[in-house]
Amino acid sequence: MGILDRFSLQGRVAVVTGGSGPQFGSSLSEGLAEAGATVICASRSLEANEKFAKGLTDKGYDAHAMTVDITDADSIQRLGEQVHERFGDVDVLVNSAVVARGGSFEEQTPEYWEFSASGNMVGLFAMSKAFLPAMAARGSGSIINISSIYGVVANDPSLYEGTDMKQPPDYTFVKAGMINFTRYLANYYGKQGVRANCICPGGYYNDQPGPFVDSYKKRVPVGRMLENDDIKGAVVFLASDASAYVTGTTLMVDGGFTTV
């Protein structure tokens, strides 16, 4: 098998939570589909997922829409059962969905942190429980968790000067925890043929205020913010046989942000 063949996901089934989302999710789903995978986009909005999946099928890719609420363990269990019943074995699970976040340290409350944890922590665990045992029983599978640069380094307050943007503390907390949970899964399931890795994207351009964009571009070595296509190669690599000996790693897709 040639090296380019090892990147192929032909015949693989991939589930992507938040799979039609404008930040990361849609790019992750599209990249996996372009590599040949059957992609199931799952999030709360079936309508948004169906619209996005149709866009991929119109391009000749194999994409499907399902619903899941990552704050609801029963919803996650139903998704797992429905996916296995309809598609059989799942080869790739990408945990990309994130619950709504916002507010500064002064504004956030313990109650909000409980809500955040219900999806960003409990939901991540429940999604893993829904798909990992079958992967382990089969002896193969790839788990890819989408963390953030703010799971590795602290927020840089200077980037937000001159804007009303907030620096939510729950986000950096859960994204840092996701990285170590990924290492746990890699160690726990490694000998059963399941790999677990993390991708930490840098700042994604999403019409942020000009002062923030300008500051970010000056701060990051490559001089620009992350765009849709930037994350595709990383997820295909970690999902495919090209990374067969890679597990427990944290892959920075940040334009060098965390090197400074």
Instruction: List the catalytic residues.
Output: 171
Strand 13-17 with 38-43, pairing: parallel
> 172 near 151, Cβ under 8 Å?
yes
> 103 near 169, Cβ under 8 Å?
no
Q: Which two tokens stand for residue 208?
A: 């942020």
Q: Which two tokens stand for residue 22?
A: 């404008």
> 225 near 23, Cβ under 8 Å?
no
**From CA 13, how far away is CA 93, in angstroms rounded?**
9
Decide: helix, strand or coil at residue 13.
strand
**From CA 181, how far away is CA 223, in angstroms rounded?**
31
> 71 near 124, Cβ under 8 Å?
no
> 176 near 148, Cβ under 8 Å?
no
Q: Which two tokens stand for residue 236?
A: 């295909």
Burial of 134 (0-12, 13-18, 19+ CB in 10 A): middle
